[in-house]
């Protein structure tokens, strides 16, 4: 009988030890999970977190695009300035189109009410 009681006590101790180990594992798992959630939330919402980084990268891309557009506009304006300084044909074109100037003796025909831009090449044969 003593042997059976010893086996019973040993089994009870093993059961208690297993339950204790299971509780420790659950506590460690929950603590790890909470720590992971804390790290994720911190990475997302802190001042230099993921959201701020994403917004800054988006703004950077917009600024790069603006820089590219401004460079192209600057190049176009530089070409126009050069043409205005050095190309008499371009100066004449601007004077005619933008300022409405004509050479002495020229007759200007103005078409009103219809867009004749499609016929521009065919009208001057």
Q: How far is CA 94 from CA 79, 87, 98, in A?
A: 14, 11, 5
**pTM of structure:** 0.50
Residue 50: the pLDDT is 84
Question: What tens digit of pLDDT does each residue of 35-85 get?
Answer: 999 988 888 888 788 888 899 999 999 999 999 999 999 999 999 999 999
Q: pLDDT band at residue 125, thresholds of 50, 70 and 90?
A: very low
Helix, coil or strand: residue 116 = coil
90 within some domain = no
**Interior/surface letters 9-34, b for 16+ CB within 10 angstroms, e for the rest:** eeeeeeeeeeeeeeeeeeeeeeeeee
50 within some domain = no
23 within some domain = yes
The domain tally of the chain equals 1
Using a pLDDT cut of 90, give the percent of the chain over it. 45
Residue 117: the pLDDT is 62
95 within some domain = no
**What domain range is 17 assigned to?**
1-45
59 within some domain = no
34 within some domain = yes
29 within some domain = yes
What is the residue-averaged pLDDT of the chain?
Answer: 85
pLDDT at 16 over 90: no
């Amino acid at each position: 009988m003593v042997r059976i009681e010893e086996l019973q006590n040993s089994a009870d101790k093993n059961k208690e030890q297993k339950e204790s180990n299971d509780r420790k594992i659950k506590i460690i798992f929950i603590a790890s999970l909470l720590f992971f959630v804390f790290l994720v939330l911190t990475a997302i919402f802190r001042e230099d977190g993921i959201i701020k980084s994403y917004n800054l990268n988006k703004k950077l891309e917009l600024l790069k695009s603006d820089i590219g557009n401004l460079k192209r506009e600057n190049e176009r304006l530089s070409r126009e300035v050069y043409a205005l300084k050095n190309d008499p044909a371009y100066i004449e074109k601007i004077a005619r189109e933008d300022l409405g100037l004509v050479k002495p003796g020229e007759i200007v025909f103005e078409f009103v009410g219809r867009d004749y831009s499609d016929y521009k090449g065919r009208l001057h044969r």
